Amino acid sequence: MLIWARPVEEVTNVHAKLRPGSPDDAVECGRICYEAFATLAAAHSFPCDFPSADVATGLVAMMLSDPGFYGVVAEIDGQVVGSNFLDERNAVAGVGPITVDSNVQDSTVGRQLMRAVMDRAAERQAPGVRLVQTAYHNRSLALYAKLGFEIREPLACMQGPPVGATVDGYAVRPATGADLDDCNRVCRAVHGHDRAGEVRDALDQGTGLVVEHEGRVSGYSTGLAFFAHSVGETVEDIKALIGAAEQLAGPGILVPSRDYALFRWCLEHRLRVVQVMTLMSAGMYHEPAGSYLPSILY
């Protein structure tokens, strides 16, 4: 029976102990993360966001050891039952992945883990907090909305073979350290804030791309991937970046489907919709004045 249809006395509320995560939590949090997403996806006949438990554990291990992320772990009777993360690399914070052990879901642990990262963001005076929600999951949609997150954008997660297209007048090249200020300028013009911390990471990892139009940087990408974002002054910038990518890494790229010119172009270039997701925000949000691909973290 649906949770909201159950008599109140049947709804169990548990009090979990919350504490900051450490690298020692990676294996258990990674297992829970993989199982929670795999169980959810299987129940709705969707592919899992993580191809294996090892990939989920690798991601969680990275987030638990990188000072750019805050991790919080929930325990009941000394046993880890869930975790959540806050991406603190930029002024605007990003939430997730949040996962709760399938055995104790729907009993307020998720709410407690969400509150923990929202409190943390407030303490750090982040002007806004964002996340990307799995659209087919009624529970997370309801939970986030109850906590004050507003729906901002429907996203089509799209995957397919390399597009291999060019856009006349838009030249794509690898980003270098000298492009940081230009990338931040483009992001501020489109979103009203920059994502300098993520851009720096992409430059260090060598995944960044910039697109130039009429002799200046008009867009950039930290990678055409689920965990990376792209920003362009116009839709042509984003088309050029997608067209130049050697692959679309992970489950796919997140295409705002209200950006119809971009969405249709992706469909025309043989990309397929894997699932629909939802960008949500609490606090500061500016309607983007340009074109963009959010990452799974926002």
Ligand X SMILES: CC(C)(COP(=O)(O)OP(=O)(O)OC[C@H]1O[C@@H](n2cnc3c(N)ncnc32)[C@H](O)[C@@H]1OP(=O)(O)O)[C@@H](O)C(=O)NCCC(=O)NCCS
Q: How many residues bind ligand X (CB under 6 A)?
A: 25
CA distance linking residue 163 with residue 68, whole number of Å: 32
**Binder among 56, 59, 109, 255 for ligand X (CB under 6 A):** 109
**Least distance CB 40 / ligand X (angstroms):** 4
The verdict on whether omega for the bond into residue 97 sits within 30 degrees of 0, i.e. cis, is yes
Among 29, 100, 155, 163, binds ligand X (CB under 6 A): 100
Choose which of 98, 172, 186, 274 interacts with ligand X (CB under 6 A).
98
**Which residue spans within 56-185 are E strands per DSSP?**
69-76, 79-87, 93-95, 99-100, 128-134, 150-159, 170-174
Q: For the window 27-66, what string marks contact with ligand X as x by the rule CB under 6 A?
A: ---------xx--x--------------------------
Residue type, 142: A
Report the site for ligand X in 129-158 (rule: CB under 6 A).
133-134, 137-140, 142-143, 146
Nearest to 212 by CA among 242, 241, 254, 191: 241
Residue placing its CB nearer to ligand X in the complex, 209 or 277: 277
* Residue 233, SS3 per DSSP: coil
Output the six-digit token pair for 201: 């990471």
Nearer to ligand X by Cβ, of 108 and 257: the residue is: 108
Contact 83, 25 (CB under 8 A): yes
Of 3 and 165, the one with the shorter C-beta distance to ligand X is 3
Q: Does 226 bind ligand X (CB under 6 A)?
A: no
Other C-beta atoms lying within 10 Å of the C-beta of residue 211: 28
Measured from the CB atom, the residue of 15 and 146 that comes closer to ligand X is 146
146 versus 173: smaller Cβ distance to ligand X: 146
